[in-house]
Amino acid sequence: MYYPSIVKKLAMNNDQPFHLAAWVKIGNQYIVGVNSTRCSCKFHRIHPDGTSGFHLHAEMDLLRKLNYPSDVKEINVVRFHKDGRPTMAMPCKYC
């Protein structure tokens, strides 16, 4: 599994129990989003138990940083264990 070193560094330093990062490469630059407790009204969602969610998932954080999200053909997502080993990741139904 390939991922740029900056992706792992940002994911491991997100102060969350789950270490996820989403990234795209545009030209020679990587744009990275990580899961966090930051909130955004643009990504408001209602969970099955009726509660609301505003926290940013890695994919949402990435989309927030892109100027033209429609130009992106593929988003890469990686998840890491607490010890830094890569593991399986699956987007939620909102992502």
* pLDDT band for position 68 (cuts 50, 70, 90): confident
The answer to whether residue 1 scores a pLDDT higher than 80 is no
Residue 10: per-residue pLDDT: 92
Residue 95 is predicted with a pLDDT of: 66
What pTM did the predictor assign? 0.79
Q: What is the pLDDT of residues 10-29, one digit of tens each?
A: 999 988 888 999 999 988 88
pLDDT at 65 > cutoff 70: yes
On the question of pLDDT at 53 being above 80, the answer is no
Give me the mean pLDDT over the 4-13 stretch. Answer: 92
CA distances from 94 to 39, 43, 47, 91 (A): 15, 9, 10, 8
